[in-house]
Structures are given as structure tokens and as C-alpha cells.
Amino acid sequence: MSFGEYLKQLRKNMSISQRELAEKSGVSNAEISRIETGGRQKISPDVLRAIAPILEIPYEELMDKAGYINSRSSIMTEHREAEELFIATVTPKLIMDGWSVERTKRASFAGDIVAKKGKEEWHIDYRFFRTREDNDKHFRYDMRTRELLWRTYGRLAIYDKDDITKYTIAVSNDKIYEIVLKYPPRLLRLKVTAMFIDLEEGKIIDERILNA
């Protein structure tokens, strides 16, 4: 499937016409038409950034579909570096507090770190969000965070092991942290917390229980 066909399908799934997409995104109707018909082979990242929130799809996913492999590779590198900083920040404090700590494989566990102390088993999952400029009006923090929470809480709801006593969503973006606090899980019996990390300072700034 070409990117133009992919875009057309996304638009139809949202029941949005080319004209509506143009009006809401600020991209010209002619440009959207050229993309969908294959007349525009190299799509500008600015165009992708503008239409992403209207189609309710991550900007990075559109970049990937449009062939910006180097951009995606850069994002993954940033993610890995941030994750390593997170682990280096959290692990020493956990050990000092008497927890044994091990890294996990996402295929078999929830989270990046499992900390154990007696009968307690605490899973901590770091979620990476790229830093955005304040004037980036096309990036919707609320939409992206709720998408993250839906997936996370849904996965925890059907987790078939009873060994986890506490689960933490850790982020290093203050706006994301505020939104995570805004949407606590309603029905999970598992204790869930949110943690705010300053990766540059190497500090845990705050942690709050979400479903007390």
C-alpha cells in the first residue's frame, strides 16, 4: 500500500473529507489530493505533523509510513538512551531502600524493572516522550497520554499473574506526568502509582498513588 492509499484509508476511517482535513490541519486541499493520488512522492514532515492529530495517529507513525527511516531510528536511539538514564537513576535508590532489582524482558513481564522485597513485587515501567517545543500546536499531549494509559491499564486488567503488588508508570515529561495524574485507573485492584523523573539531574522528583 502506498502512503497516499494509506492516508486515504485513515481519512475514510475518520469519516473526514479531503476538504475537512485541509481546513482542520491547515494543509491545502490540493496538497492532500496530490498525496493521496500519488502525485506527491516526498511528503513534508511539516505536513505529516499537521495532519497527525486530525487523524488521531502518532506523528512518528506517519513519519515511518512515509519512509523517514532515519527519523524513526533517531527516535529509537533517544528512547534507549532515556531508558538507560531512567534505570541508572532509579536502581540505586531502590537498592538503598532494601529492594533487589532486576531488568525485565517486555515479552514476559510488565515494566522495565522488577524490584522485590519480601512478598512485595514492584514493576516500574518507564515511558518515553520526546521533548516538544511549546509552540508545537499539532502535538496533543492529552491524546497521546490517554492512548498510553488505555493500553497500560488494559494490559494490567488481564495480566494473569498474582505476583505483582505494585505497578508504576514513570515519565520524565512534566506535562505527561500531570495528565497521568488526571486519569487514574478506576477498577484495577492492583496498586498503581505515577512517578516523575528528572533524567538530567538523576532524581526522582515525585511519586503519587493513582488508585488509593
3-state helix, strand, coil in the chain (%, to 5): 45, 15, 35
Q: Which of 20, 40, 67 represents a domain boundary (last residue)?
A: 67
Regarding whether 42 and 140 lie in a shared domain, the answer is no
Q: Which three cell numbers stand for residue 145?
A: 497520554
Contacts of residue 18, defined as CB under 8 A and 6 or more positions apart, other chains included, come to: 11, 29, 32, 33, 36
Regarding whether 121 and 201 lie in a shared domain, the answer is yes
pTM: 0.63
Q: Which of 11, 34, 67 represents a domain boundary (last residue)?
A: 67
Number of domains in the chain: 2
User: How far apart, in whole angstroms, are the C-alpha atoms of residue 171 and residue 178?
Assistant: 10
Q: Which of 52, 67, 82 represents a domain boundary (last residue)?
A: 67
Task: Give the chain's length.
Answer: 212
- Give the domain range for residue 49: 3-67
Beta pairing partners, 208: 194
Give me the tens of pLDDT residue by residue for the chain, a chain 212 residues long.
Answer: 789 999 999 999 889 999 999 999 999 999 999 999 998 888 888 899 899 889 888 887 888 888 875 555 667 778 888 999 999 999 999 999 999 999 886 545 578 899 999 999 999 999 988 766 555 555 678 888 888 898 889 888 887 766 789 999 999 999 899 999 999 998 888 899 999 999 989 999 999 999 86
Contact call for residues 75 and 130 (beta carbons, < 8 A): yes
The CATH number covering residue 88 comes to 3.40.1350
